[in-house]
Amino acid sequence: MADSSAHGVVDVAIVTYNAAADLPACVAALRAQGDVVGRVLVIDNASADGTADVARGFDDVEVIANATNVGYAPAMNQAYAATSLPYLLSLNADAVLEPGYVDALVAALEASPRVGAATGLLVRPGGPVDSTGIELTRAYAARERFGGAVAGAISVGDAPFGVSGAAALWRRSMLDDLGPSPWWDWLFVYWDDVELCWRARRHGWEFAFVPTARATHRRGVATGEPTFTESLSLRNRLATVARHRGWAGLLAPPSLALSAFTVARLAVRHPAALGRARPIQAVRAGLTARKADGTA
């Protein structure tokens, strides 16, 4: 357990879209975390299944109901602007924390001042690892560390490149370093955590995996509509690489090969997804952000 001085130091943001069925278990697990948790905000993106009404049924949950689906990244920026405690937990509605999860992450951040965010061991229903953080390949492909492995067989290993937003504890001072909108609104959803962590690394922050903190993550994206998920995955990868590595990163042989393969695969399997991805627009958005960052 974290020291008693850690009580009430964590605000929680749960961004929802059609998550009425998942929310009760998520909130119940949060209640079991104890006094370390302060405010719990549900930011609902115009769900059609009554998610906002379910959230309003909890006495200890505040609800921000958006009139339209503004996206995950803008909703997290709403949560950031509406909260003030030293730590902000981003939590997916389909994630269920085990007791002590938040305490363990708070303790890790308090022990390491340069660690800007931490995640625990996320597992899928049935046992395989969902994530122990994010790693970035030479081709600038982001993937979950040890994803699919047997939970008992993994090692702590090196610190991750970043943390998955599914159940991550963010240090507010790190978010403050990134400006009034730490999450890049343009990304809408997917790659938002990768991009934020990449930008934070440029400010000198590090990230941590805490194996004693455990949670189950159903990962609703696995059942998502492929045209939507695949188009945004390509679009946001290109924009993120352009923002952080520019043309050199986009044209590096491993990165270019991955982009070409992805475009070809979508052209055959999901041509509508390729049309929605708008790769040229994505590259331009990333290069524009890179120039604004002062790294062009």
β-pairing, 142-144 with 134-136? antiparallel
Confidence tier at 158 by pLDDT (50, 70, 90): confident
Residue 215 has pLDDT above 90, yes or no: yes
Residue 214 has pLDDT above 60, yes or no: yes
How many domains does the chain divide into?
2
Same domain, yes or no, for 253 and 126? no
Same domain, yes or no, for 203 and 233? no
Lowest mean pLDDT of 57-61, 153-157, 198-202, name the range. Answer: 153-157
Query: 19, 3, 63, 67: which is closest to 39 by C-alpha?
Result: 63
Pairwise pLDDT comparison (149 vs 105), residue with the higher score: 105
**Domain end marker among 176, 204, 223:** 223
- What digits encode the pLDDT tens for the residues 56-85? 999 999 999 999 999 999 999 999 999 999
Question: Whole-angstrom Cα distance, residue 200 to residue 287?
Answer: 18
Confidence tier at 223 by pLDDT (50, 70, 90): very low
Q: What is the pLDDT of residue 176?
A: 98
For residue 166, the enclosing domain spans 4-223
Residue 222 has pLDDT above 50, yes or no: no
Residue 116 has pLDDT above 90, yes or no: yes
Pairwise pLDDT comparison (71 vs 270), residue with the higher score: 71
Lowest mean pLDDT of 157-161, 187-191, 234-238, 251-255, name the range. Answer: 157-161
Same domain, yes or no, for 100 and 246? no
Question: Whole-angstrom Cα distance, residue 139 to residue 193?
Answer: 18
What are the Cα distances from residue 151, in Å, to 11, 17, 31, 117, 161?
28, 29, 25, 21, 20
Q: What is the pLDDT of residue 229?
A: 83
Residue 186 has pLDDT above 60, yes or no: yes
Same domain, yes or no, for 177 and 230? no
Same domain, yes or no, for 143 and 286? no
Residue 234 has pLDDT above 80, yes or no: yes
Average pLDDT, the chain: 92
Q: What is the pLDDT of residue 204?
A: 97
State the CATH number of the domain containing residue 18: 3.90.550.60
Same domain, yes or no, for 238 and 169? no
Unique residue bearing structure tokens 């044209």:
251
Instruction: Spell 148-185 as b/e; 16+ CB within 10 A means b.
Output: eeebeeeeeeeebbbbbbbbbbbbbebbebbeeebbbe
Same domain, yes or no, for 132 and 256? no
Same domain, yes or no, for 38 and 130? yes
Pairwise pLDDT comparison (5 vs 116), residue with the higher score: 116
Confidence tier at 149 by pLDDT (50, 70, 90): confident
Same domain, yes or no, for 217 and 231? no
**Domain end marker among 173, 205, 223:** 223
Same domain, yes or no, for 209 and 248? no
Residue 151 has pLDDT above 50, yes or no: yes
Same domain, yes or no, for 77 and 209? yes
pTM: 0.93
Same domain, yes or no, for 90 and 113? yes
**Domain end marker among 203, 223, 243:** 223
